[in-house]
Structure 1
Amino acid sequence: MFCDAFEVHFGNPDVTGDANNKLLALVQTGSTAAHASQYTELLIHVNWSEQTKIDNFYHSLKTVVKDTIILTQLQDCPRIFKKYVDFVIEIDNHVHCREQERKLKAKANATKSTTLRSQHSTTTSTTSTSTRTPTALTSLLPLPQGIPMEIDATRTLKPRGPLTDEEKERHHHLRLCSYCGGMGHLAAACPNMSAASKKCFMDRKASFQQGKA
């Protein structure tokens, strides 16, 4: 109670010691400018030399700022604390700009990579579709003239049925092959007839002739 009342009336009895401890424990968490401002406010309560102020200030800085400071020759570093603070703030500004530059470059590279992957995927898909198109459309293509549906089931998926009487009459009148509908030959010598179909045709013809006999 006595100490609290004393501090209310007379302030902190050990301002110097308190400021000294805070300075030793202080570390940079934001910009160097903000850190230096807080650091300087505490310095007015202690009696440190210029070199002590500089040394302790250096140890309180962020690692990335320290790593840049050590690239400067020791003899080129300011010996006056205020000038040293200005020197470090300029370094911190350069470090911050470089970090922003790296982030922007990384973002641009990520966007470029995503675009290239998307273009590659689209190209691959288009090529694959183009490659498949002839096969996929085979069943939709018209048969060449003179080739009946039954000899290319892979295109039509079902054989041709028997000719109607009207179709038979038209084939006979135009002297067309009754098998493939082509000109210049009869069904018995049809070049478009498979061996199995030709055998079946000849068997039916023989049976028909035997029936007539």
Structure 2
Amino acid sequence: MVAVELIGVATDVRVLQWIAKPLIAPVLIWCVASLRQGERRPNLMIAALAFATVGDIVLLVPGTLPFVLGMAAFLGTQVMLTIAFVGRRRPKSWTVVGYGVLWVVVNTSLWNQLGGLRVPILVYSIALTAMACAATAISARTGVGGALFLLSDLLIGVGAAGMDFPGRDLVVMSTYAAALYLIATGATATGSGATGATATGATATGSAATG
């Protein structure tokens, strides 16, 4: 699905984008759910990917209103992911400071160019930065995924500010797809490992008690 989407973006064939882009997040939903069969479902991750699916579809439609609605859908993605990550482990203080400084610098730099999109982007960027920061506490994979998600949306913000460059859409889509994959698989792998360790510990405790 990602390959077809990137070909569609590179060649500006809208039909390919309409076919592939809405299926990227649902494929990951299926993967996340199937990898955890017999265990507690990662409901927040699935909800986050469901919001991403809505956002992907809405953002295929050009215009300011679809852009804002798509941003609102992805706000749901960031909130779900942040709750899921923070509920498991808190990020280090230096990471919070670093991402906080980055948020200030980026928003200050783009503020005068964003016009009527200033407030929506300001609100969304808070949630996005919080998610990227929280992702660093789960695993290296999710940390990289969060950073790529931030980079992808930063490039969208740069475009909204009127500062475009050749190949920007291709970089946006490739970093976004990689971000979703790394976050979904990284968080699931970490959760599965923790569950396995817990089960092993429980077995060992049971054996000791029996002995």
Fold in common (TM above 0.5): no
**Which structure is higher in RCO with an 8 Å CA cutoff and minimum separation 6?**
2
Question: Which entry has the higher C-alpha Rg, 1 or 2?
Answer: 1
